[in-house]
Structure 1
């Protein structure tokens, strides 16, 4: 029951330290650190039955002295306070708002055992912890509790910088020496049981195919053939074949080994030594790999679930491939073919009655690969040739989510992720794009046939709802791994649905972004949330303006600078004057075009009303009665003004148009941040 608790302390909590009071910085008389109720409920499940939780705490008295103090958590209304210890040492003269409170607590004992530290704002331990994906939830919660391995990075950093408090003593188990009467082979994992576990990697069929394509690209493939015939013709099977470098017999055996560790070069899409097996087993009970390196003999190895179940041994088969698959696995000079047989039935429910389940699967694979690998198919990956991917002999077409001709692009910016040491720092490259609004898009596709128009709409919306396509697009080594949504920085908003933001990173940032084993999960460290919010204020305003049909003409680009990777921000939120900025012809924090506000004649279909809550001072919606402006309590003066104007329709219509002007300048976001 080990938890790592993190909190950024505020003015009101620092009165706990005598030195803070002696310096005259105190603003309140509070002598405790606040603990959120949800954290206490998670760490101490029995807390609901008590008002006091005893904790024996270890902390620093000075640079070299560790003291242990009997402390407590005391219920304060719904939340709790950490009390019982107010350090008097001048050692804490560094405390200021923003210091990081970190506690590692073992809640399995009574009283609980804990060690805590207050980490200065400029300390490398604070930088490393807040620059890692483990801290992501601090962006939406004042305090977080990480259970066991969830806080592994934070615990490692704390142990390295403050070993007196957090480094656990090394122990040698008395059972570590083998004994003659023990059968140690019994502790090996059961092959069938592990197969079943690894087969639940969270893959859909399209994402599994994409993971197998990753392997082909990592081996330098220029052409990839995916064969997926109708299940009604010879059963359900699939083959992914490439013309890459292939593998020797020894290399093939290593590739079939679960968790095989190898050296990954900078452009290698692999990560854990698991992708081939996990992706294949998520869909099929039999995996056969045929591979041939130039000038070498071809090799064939198979993992078969039935064989694992029968022998209960990790035993590879080298049987020849059945004749019916021979054309699909045929390799010329070099390459690899991954053959999935005994594939399990489709798990996704059939949508509608117009197409067969097989046709829907083909369409889903096609759409997924065209999006995920669009840079490879376009030939826009530095240092490598254009890649051709064929699905049942049909060449896939790239679907660049920011590539529509009417999309308006902002300059690229960079945010540095500071690692635990300077040599472990990495960089995120951020570029915002505003896609065309509905009127512009409909005008653009007007010359096309109805079928072509439908295809274009589906490609722009990524075969889903346009509102779901807004947000971040994370590219790992030019391969799209996650897209849509704002990672809790912003809520999805109809008025910002045109905004898409590409975030590029390489292998050096994987640990800090906590890329998971399926390479589909990313967490933004807390340290980058404020810089990202700052960088996106102007693009968000531009997206709103374009949504409201007030943008510049469809033929005027927002940026003509091309690829521009310039120096930029640090995790502290400092923003340079170059990079992700509007074009010189469009002043920052100004409407995207110089068009005047719409005339007050909108009053017959615009209403302004007060609602009880919301994340912004006001929001504009389209209801059954037309346009409505909903005003929240975040700005009391605005609420009072709406109340005064309640009976005057003309005045409320004028207010609505005035608020519209403020929206184009991003004022709602600025006010929401200050509220």
Structure 2
């Protein structure tokens, strides 16, 4: 497991270099470089059970001399520090804030082995690495780790400028390339297997979207039950299996399905598109793809694409090896069905959010919420021409999350917009229906009978696990499968006062070309010719959304039909709904000016990513604020539960103040 680690060093981390201290630049006594916890978790999966990780490091003593120093990563709360080496050589007199720390580490050995270098801002390697897309995540994270070929550019730059430390990037030898090229006739130029693998592996998938694309394949084969197994990577490695009870495939059918870009006749309700989804989704996450399939009355067939085998043979050669015993039970199918097994999966490269949950738990949650949303019609049994589908993730049955399904949501009539088409036999069309969801006061009143935890879960589901303002806009459904949502595609700007409106746009395969559905089936483009008709259809519901949003300031929550909201056990809103009236900013509602909400003197309590104490009290221009750090997870969980309750936050602040007088924060810090 080889990773490329990048970090721009700050003042506090440069104390490890003797020359920096000798020049009087040091601002802190720290003698180590910080390693972010999510990077360490990705590079060293067993780190959660350790406090020290040994690394034998190679670095420069001067421009040409390489030394090897036994170093280590040491846990400090949730983050880590790189310790054991303080270079004293005058070679490091250039170190200043924003030097680039670059390390290539092989974590497959114990101790791990690594080479590292610090690169000044005026060095060409500094600009070459930071000017490439590989470094993009440094804008969001202080440190990033690139796995394997994901750091290929940075590895090449390091090998070019610091050859004494870094070997050449592992590429196919020139001899192998020449042999491969000469094996084909002049007019027969097949694609390079390894090169095409790398291209397809970068086609825009993250883990949740890749899993959704694999579920598409199961649905296209008539599956009614889909089981996804994704065990903890810290126990047995990182692998995944998606198994279904669909029609399965014959040996020839499976061989064709494994072919890149295989063209076939798609049924009208087939979610496939380019003959790419199975391979591209799998390869975006793993270096080895195995598919086990069986059609009714036929034999079981097993075929595998393996990146290492492609690189070794330089041929599109499928493997027929049986599945390893560790995964055999996960690929067992009944009378018919298919199991897609991903092994040699690459570590997660998405930065983790917060520290309350482990990276694995966050990945599971992301997959779950994504599938519950994009396949909600299938899970509800509302997909046209389909039976209800059951999807399980690690034996947890998924629950549909319909973004327009809240009982208090106002539903508008559906409209049809025809798309320009060069043919006349079948006219592609969009089916547009607008919805206005409940405002915050209505929603809070509706969930009041639930427990605080249940309220938080329902709020997260309703906001699609983000901010409600980002959930407004267009929701594109291709064959009842949600492929893109949120935002207005430049029709309108996002507006706090219209955040309650969501517009479903349904289309089928006929509209793929006009909407330019991309290869990952996640992006669409609206043709210019339909922008004006679409704007006209949405104007009235947008006005109603403004009206409903403004009603929250009057202090009397109302449902879609104008009456008072009920509880979850009450009746859903009728279609009588809100009057389609236009409301401009500052306009009155129902003839009366909205009553402004008086400001209350309340203490803010929020969660921060780091700190030396479980909580810290600060006073700024906004008043008093309590910052809760990850040192006490139970306290973090409590703050999350009361996130929307200002009175509860104030009460918690006063309770913490009592604990402060007793010195409890210091006691907890010592224990941590």
TM-score, with length taken from structure 1: 0.57
RMSD: 2.7
Q: For the structure 1 residues 286 and 601, does the alpha-carbon distance in structure 2 shift closer, same or farther, using more than 3 Å as the test? A: closer
Matched, 1:484 2:478: no
Partner of 1:344: 346
Q: For the structure 1 residues 468 and 599, does the alpha-carbon distance in structure 2 shift closer, same or farther, using more than 3 Å as the test? A: closer
Given candidates 379, 394, 406, the residue that maps to 1:377 is 379
Q: For the structure 1 residues 585 and 326, does the alpha-carbon distance in structure 2 shift closer, same or farther, using more than 3 Å as the test? A: closer
Q: Distance in 1 between matches of 2:253 and 2:225?
A: 21
Q: Distance in 2 between matches of 1:220 and 1:474?
A: 22
Q: For the structure 1 residues 600 and 214, does the alpha-carbon distance in structure 2 shift closer, same or farther, using more than 3 Å as the test? A: closer
- Does structure 2 conserve the Cα–Cα contact (< 8 Å) formed by 1:418 and 1:424? no
Partner of 2:513: 511
Q: Distance in 2 between matches of 1:319 and 1:585?
A: 61
Q: Determine helix, strand or coil for the equivalent of 1:327.
A: helix
Given candidates 431, 434, 437, the residue that maps to 2:436 is 434
- Does structure 2 conserve the Cα–Cα contact (< 8 Å) formed by 1:249 and 1:299? yes
Partner of 1:202: 204
Partner of 2:581: 589
Partner of 2:306: 304
* Higher relative contact order, structure no. (Cα contacts within 8 Å, ≥ 6 residues apart): 1
TM-score, with length taken from structure 2: 0.58
Partner of 2:236: 234
Q: Determine helix, strand or coil for the equivalent of 1:366.
A: helix
Partner of 2:253: 251
Q: For the structure 1 residues 585 and 487, does the alpha-carbon distance in structure 2 shift closer, same or farther, using more than 3 Å as the test? A: closer
Q: For the structure 1 residues 594 and 501, does the alpha-carbon distance in structure 2 shift closer, same or farther, using more than 3 Å as the test? A: same
Partner of 1:598: 592
Q: Distance in 2 between matches of 1:278 and 1:422?
A: 34
Partner of 1:495: 497
Q: Distance in 2 between matches of 1:327 and 1:604?
A: 61
Q: Distance in 1 between matches of 2:594 and 2:461?
A: 37
Q: Distance in 1 between matches of 2:236 and 2:578?
A: 61
Q: Distance in 2 between matches of 1:555 and 1:447?
A: 17
More divergent stretch after superposition (204-213 vs 531-540): 531-540
Q: Determine helix, strand or coil for the equivalent of 2:266.
A: coil
* Deviation per residue, 1:356-413 (Å, 9 max, x gap): 1000000000000000000000000122110000000000000000001111111111
Q: Distance in 1 between matches of 2:466 and 2:597?
A: 34
Q: Distance in 1 between matches of 2:384 and 2:188?
A: 49
Partner of 1:318: 320
Matches within 5 A, 1:261-272: 261-272=263-274
Count of residues paired in the alignment: 406
Deviation at 1:337, TM superposition (A): 0.1
Partner of 1:528: 530
Q: Distance in 2 between matches of 1:601 and 1:383?
A: 49
Q: For the structure 1 residues 303 and 602, does the alpha-carbon distance in structure 2 shift closer, same or farther, using more than 3 Å as the test? A: closer
The answer for unaligned runs of 5 or more in structure 1 is 1-179, 559-581, 606-623, 626-675
Q: Distance in 1 between matches of 2:432 and 2:226?
A: 30
- Does structure 1 conserve the Cα–Cα contact (< 8 Å) formed by 2:560 and 2:577? no
Q: Distance in 1 between matches of 2:184 and 2:282?
A: 36
- Does structure 1 conserve the Cα–Cα contact (< 8 Å) formed by 2:441 and 2:557? no
Q: Determine helix, strand or coil for the equivalent of 1:266.
A: coil
- Does structure 1 conserve the Cα–Cα contact (< 8 Å) formed by 2:304 and 2:320? yes
Q: Determine helix, strand or coil for the equivalent of 1:468.
A: helix
Partner of 1:393: 395
Q: Distance in 1 between matches of 2:575 and 2:451?
A: 35
Q: Distance in 1 between matches of 2:521 and 2:346?
A: 23
Partner of 2:542: 540
Q: For the structure 1 residues 291 and 586, does the alpha-carbon distance in structure 2 shift closer, same or farther, using more than 3 Å as the test? A: closer
Q: Distance in 1 between matches of 2:474 and 2:315?
A: 44
Matches within 5 A, 1:32-431: 183-184=185-186, 187-431=189-433
Deviation at 1:418, TM superposition (A): 2.5
Q: Distance in 2 between matches of 1:255 and 1:354?
A: 41
Q: For the structure 1 residues 598 and 340, does the alpha-carbon distance in structure 2 shift closer, same or farther, using more than 3 Å as the test? A: same
Q: For the structure 1 residues 247 and 535, does the alpha-carbon distance in structure 2 shift closer, same or farther, using more than 3 Å as the test? A: same
Partner of 2:21: none
Q: Distance in 1 between matches of 2:199 and 2:270?
A: 26
Deviation at 1:500, TM superposition (A): 0.2
Q: Distance in 1 between matches of 2:405 and 2:413?
A: 15
Q: Determine helix, strand or coil for the equivalent of 2:280.
A: helix
Partner of 1:642: none
Q: Distance in 2 between matches of 1:509 and 1:328?
A: 37
Q: For the structure 1 residues 361 and 585, does the alpha-carbon distance in structure 2 shift closer, same or farther, using more than 3 Å as the test? A: closer
* Deviation per residue, 1:511-546 (Å, 9 max, x gap): 000000000010000111101111111100000011
- Does structure 1 conserve the Cα–Cα contact (< 8 Å) formed by 2:419 and 2:427? yes
Deviation at 1:600, TM superposition (A): 8.5
The answer for unaligned runs of 5 or more in structure 2 is 1-181, 563-573, 600-620, 623-672
Partner of 1:96: none
- Does structure 1 conserve the Cα–Cα contact (< 8 Å) formed by 2:550 and 2:589? no
Deviation at 1:422, TM superposition (A): 2.1
